[in-house]
Each structure stands twice: as C-alpha cells, then as structure tokens.
A and B are shown apart, each in its own frame.
Chain A
Amino acid sequence: MSEPIITFDKVNKWYGNAFHVLRDIDLVVAKGERIVICGPSGSGKSTLIRCINRLEEHQQGRLVVDGVELSDDVKAIDQVRKEVGMVFQQFNLFPHLTVLENLTLSPMWVGKMPKKEAEEKAMEQLNRVRIAEQAGKYPLQLSGGQQQRVAIARALCLKPKIMLFDEPTSALDPEMIKEVLDVMIEMASQGITMLCVTHEMGFAKAVADRVIFMDQGQIVEQNNPHDFFNNPQSERSKDFLSKILGH
C-alpha cells in the first residue's frame, strides 16, 4: 500500500453529552485511494468525512490529514482545507453569484490569483464537467444535476489532493444522477483521493477501491467492493444490503 494521506487513530466524537456519534474510529486512507462509505442514516458517515476538513471537530483521538494533525490550531485547519475539496448533498452554491463567480471566488480571494487567470482556470474546470456554456448564469437557473456539477468544478478549482463527497446524488432527480456520477467516475480515473458517502452501489462497484460500512458510529466492515457486495461478513451489513438492493 502506498503512503497514507488520512489517518484516523481512535477518533471519538459526541454531539452534546449523550450522542456518541463516532466511536473509536481507526482508518487509514492511502494516497489516491477511492473509498465509498455507506450505512444507515444516523450512522455517522457524514460526520466522519466532515471531521476530515474540520467542519466537525472530534473530541478524542488523533486525526492527521496530509501530514497535518487537526486540532484547534487555525493555521492547521487552513492548511488542511487547502488540500481538501468538498461536495455537499444540497450543492451549497452561492446563489447571489454567477456560476463563474462561484468558481473564481476562492482562487481570487484566498489564492490572490488575478481575475483573468482565475477565470481561465475556472472555465477549464467547467469544461471538464461539461457545463462551460452555463458560466454566466446564476445557480438557481440550472437544474439540480447541473448545479452539482458546478459544485464539483468549484471544489476542483482549488486543486485539492483529497475530495470529499457527502451524498452528492441524494437530492437529485433520477434522470440527473447519471450525469453527476459520470463526472465523478472520470475524476476517479485521474488519481485524486476520494471519500464518498453514497448509496449508489453501481458507482461503488465501478470506482471504489474499498467500501466501508458504518453503523452506530462504528466501522462495522470494510472490504473491496466485489467481496463486500457478494460476500458481506457481518449480519448487519447483510441486512443493510438486502434492504437497499432488495428491489
């Protein structure tokens, strides 16, 4: 296995005092690895990946991302966020900015890139997700699938080493899921480290190196997709798979 880029070491997290959302998470992600995380709702999958760019903070254990340990240190957080892109279920595009402005915002204001260069780079990314002709529109004028592809392009503008996807297709109409998955599959072929929370099992089979199954804040099972889907080891994952693949 190549060198690790993300390391969870006995990571624990609580919401309030009572809700123990992540329990003793141990996980090592190798550079370039593509991981799909699945599990029932409330199992902590989203929280797990949101800890990686510190949208959520963990209370116990060590979490190292690209050689930087995450703590309250703001500099460390900034450094990690430079390397980690994220795509949300609800897209979270900025509705008051055009598509192009959504993409150039961070390069110009955080990366101090000149406007012209930022726009060229942004158009490159929009081409990559096949939506360049919509650059001048506002996000709400686009379909859900188009918005999500813009969101992916926006994350890619920062040239991240790691991409996090938090249920990227769950808010989409069935006809639009494919266009987003196609873009993600193409990205996967380019060697970027990907962690994706999703229930798109076709996507998992096509691109994942490893599938992680979570329940009640724990990693219950992890395996390559072929073995995970054909030969799940635990009762809990068998039950889960029978429910999502059952019809």
Chain B
Amino acid sequence: MAAQTFQPIPPRPAPVNTEGLLPWIRSNLFGNWKTSIGTVILGALLLWIVPQLLSWALFRAAWAPNAEACRLEGVGACWGVVAEKYRLIIFGRYPFEEQWRPLVATVLMVGLLVASCARPFWKPWLALVWIAVLGTFFTIMFGGVLGLSRVETDRWGGLPLTILLASLSMAMAFPIALVVALGRRSNLPAIRSACTIYVELIRGVPLISVLFMASFMFPLFMPQGFSIDVLIRVLVGITLFAAAYMAEVIRGGLQAIPKGQVEAAATLGLSYWQTQRKIVLPQALAIVVPGIMNGFISTFKDTSLVTIVSLYELTGAMGLALNSDADWRPFKIEGYLFIASIYFIFCFSMSRYSHWVEKQVNKSKLR
C-alpha cells in the first residue's frame, strides 16, 4: 500500500465576525439576558445622573471670584472659590510677592520627574541632574543668597511641598527598599533579623504616629541646641515608612524568581551582587511594577498627612485657605474638588506610566 500524503486543511475565517463596533457591543453589553438587564439599568442611571452633574458643575456654576454671586438662589457649583483662593491653595503660606519662586521650583521639579520617566534619560548623569535640580529647588525656595529673601521651611506649603515630599521620599525609599528586601533573604542571620524587625516595626504603626514621633518626640532625644529642620525629619519619616512597604512588595518579586536562575548564574561564575543586579532584580522588579507604582501613588497621597505636624502641603493649604475666611468657607466642596483634580492628574499619570513600563519590561515575554 502506498503511503498517503498528508494534506493540511487551509485555514478559514471564523463564522461570526468578532471585530468592529457592533460585534463588540453585542458581545460586551448584550451578551446574554443578565448583561442586557445590567446594561439597561446602568444606562438609565447614567442618563439620570450625568445631566444633573453637568448642570451643577457647568451650566449653573458661578465662575467669578464673587462670594455674593455664589449665594444666589439656583446657582450650582461655585468655582469662584478657586479663582479667589488658588494662590493660597497652591502655594500655602509662602510670602505672596515671592510666590514666583515656588512656581519656578515646582516647574523644575516636575520637569525633572517627567524626564526621569523617559528612557533616553536613563543614564548615569541623570543622578547629577537630580542633585543639581534639588540644589536649585532648595536654593530658590529657601533663599538667603543671590538677593533672595530667606523663607523658613515652616512657611513652605501647597503643591511644591507635596511634590517635594513625594518625589524625595519615593526616590530615597526605593533604594532602601531594595536593600531591605535583599536583606530579608540574606543567609546572614544578623542582617536578616535586622531587616525583618525594621519592616515589622514600621508596618506595625500608622504613618501619623511616625510623623508625630519625627516631629515632636525626636527633638527630645537630641542634645541641647542641636536641631534638625522639621521638614527633613518628616521627610525621613515618610521615606522609612514607604520603604518598609515597598521592601515587602519587592521581596514578593524576588520570591517569584526560580532557584534555577540563581544556580545558572552561579555556574557561570557570577558573584552574589552580579547575580542580583543582572539576573534577579531585573526580573523581580518587572513582576512588581504594579505593586511599586501602588506604593508610589499611596506615598504621594499620604503626604497630605503632614498637615498634622503643621506643614501645610496641598490639602493643608486648602484647609488653611478656606477655614480662615467666613465668606468662602461654605464652598469647601468646590475647593476640595479642585485639589482632588490636581491629585488625580498626578496619580493618573503615574498609573499610565506604570502601564507603559509594564509593557516595556514584558517585551521579552511576547512571542
């Protein structure tokens, strides 16, 4: 009997079209009777809520910085409060005539942060740029040189303070977290327990109490006449707090790397640090990008807690701006919506950036 030749069947298109808008609506919104009911109910809710919201926020809103106009019958949102108070909200108690200084400093800092996110800038000299920009930031803000008047740190406030606290604590917490995460997996018992105690202690207390300690208790233990600026103490507090959480996130990534990777590196003669740097950490960090960004975002928002030690960052400055003014105090909601939108812009950008980084680091997994 002659051997039969194998004849592959040529591929055919799928019987039901699954691409395009209509098929998408059919399969996602009206897939079966349960999703259809859900779509109808949610659609009705949106139709009911969205027009009211738009009417309040846009069509009936008062835009002029005039408290009387806001109190009229039938007026919706009072955005005049933002027009009236935005400089106090954004720059806090920083001297009014000098507020170009925090503006320049903030623009510089945000520029640095954005640049640090882009691949072409991931070069060793970026560290020098950081030092230069931070130096400039503090010089402009603090003054006392170049004919700038001196502004003590307790008058710093608003968005510049938020950005300073967030970016510095994130930048410092990350390397600390790396070392602690590696330390918790070390073969040396002393290092391992030190790192474990640090993480467990910090995670056992709320950030507020860390800030209280940094602000009020720490000076009690310092020798007479020796003091560290409260801003620095708070910064260290937030950093240590964020680092403990991030260390655990990174450790989760380290644990996901198969033992075989380390063994292969060992047989190739790589040292411990070479193995960590070239093999383990690149893979571990790629896994935990969402977790790390989670930490960054919550650190960014946690900076609002420094209000309780009398540093008026964005949220604190907002409270300061409205609480002291009986005319505008009723329009807190609009004020809070304003700073909420500022927080949202930053947090959402971070979230999108994290998404992009994830795509970049997962390129090697694409087939």
Interface residues of A (CB under 8 A from B): 53, 55, 78, 81-82, 84-86, 88, 90, 92-98, 105-106, 109-110, 138, 140-141, 154-155, 158
Contact = CB atoms under 8 A, between A and B. Distances in A.
25 contacts: A53-B266, A55-B266, A81-B266, A82-B269, A84-B267, A88-B263, A90-B258, A92-B258, A92-B260, A92-B263, A94-B261, A94-B283, A95-B364, A96-B282, A96-B286, A109-B274, A110-B271, A110-B274, A138-B365, A140-B364, A140-B365, A141-B366, A141-B367, A155-B268, A158-B269
Nearest first, the 4 closest Cβ-Cβ pairs linking A and B are A92-B264, A106-B268, A92-B260, A138-B364
Contact of B278 (A53, A95, A105, A141): A105
B261 A92 contact: yes
Nearest to B367: A141
B268 A154 contact: yes
B63 to A, nearest CB: 53
Contact of A88 (B260, B279, B282): B260
Contacts, number: 68
Contact of B367 (A84, A106, A140, A158): A140
Contact of A110 (B261, B263, B268): B268
A106 B270 contact: yes
A209 to B, nearest CB: 24
Nearest to A93: B264
A105 B260 CA distance: 16
Given A92-B263, A110-B271, 17 more contacts: A53-B266, A55-B263, A85-B267, A88-B264, A92-B258, A92-B261, A94-B264, A95-B365, A96-B283, A98-B364, A106-B268, A110-B269, A110-B274, A138-B364, A140-B364, A141-B367, A158-B268
B269 A106 contact: yes
Best-buried of A82, A106, A138, A158 by chain B (most CB within 10 Å):
A106
A105 B268 contact: yes
Nearest to A95: B364
A85 B267 CA distance: 7
Contacts of A138: 363-365
Contacts of A90: 258, 260
Contacts of B265: 94
Contacts of A140: 364-365, 367
A140 B362 CA distance: 12
Contacts of A158: 268-269
A55 B267 contact: yes
Contacts of B258: 90, 92
A109 B271 CA distance: 10
B76 to A, nearest CB: 53
Interface string B242-284: 0000000000000000101101111111110010001100110
A136 B98 CA distance: 56
Nearest to A151: B264
Nearest to B260: A92
Contacts of B367: 140-141
A94 B279 contact: yes
Contacts of A78: 269
